[in-house]
A = this chain, B = another copy of it.
Amino acid sequence: MSDRISVHITKETLRVANCYEHVSHVSAGGNAMFIGTVRNQTKGNEVLKLEFEAYTPMAIKELEKIAQAVIEKWDAIKVSIHHRVGTLRVGDIAVIISVSTPHRAASFEACQYAIDTLKETVPIWKKEIFRDGEVWVSAHP
Residues of A within 8 A of B (CB): 15-17, 20, 24-37, 39-41, 90-91, 104-105, 107-108, 111-112, 115
Would you give the shortest CB distance from A81 to chain B, in whole angstroms? Answer: 15
Question: If the complex has contacts A15-B17, A17-B15, are A28 and B34 also in contact, measured as CB distance less than 8 A?
Answer: no
Which residues of the partner chain B approach A16 to less than 8 Å between Cβ atoms? 16-17, 20, 33
- Determine how many copies of this chain the complex contains: 2
Would you give the shortest CB distance from A47 to chain B, in whole angstroms? Answer: 9
Would you give the shortest CB distance from A109 to chain B, in whole angstroms? Answer: 9
Question: If the complex has contacts A16-B17, A104-B115, A108-B111, are A31 and B40 also in contact, measured as CB distance less than 8 A?
Answer: no
Which residues of the partner chain B approach A24 to less than 8 Å between Cβ atoms? 35, 37, 91
Q: Are A104 and B29 in contact (CB under 8 A)?
A: no
Q: Are A39 and B27 in contact (CB under 8 A)?
A: yes
Q: Are A34 and B108 in contact (CB under 8 A)?
A: yes
Would you give the shortest CB distance from A114 to chain B, in whole angstroms? Answer: 11
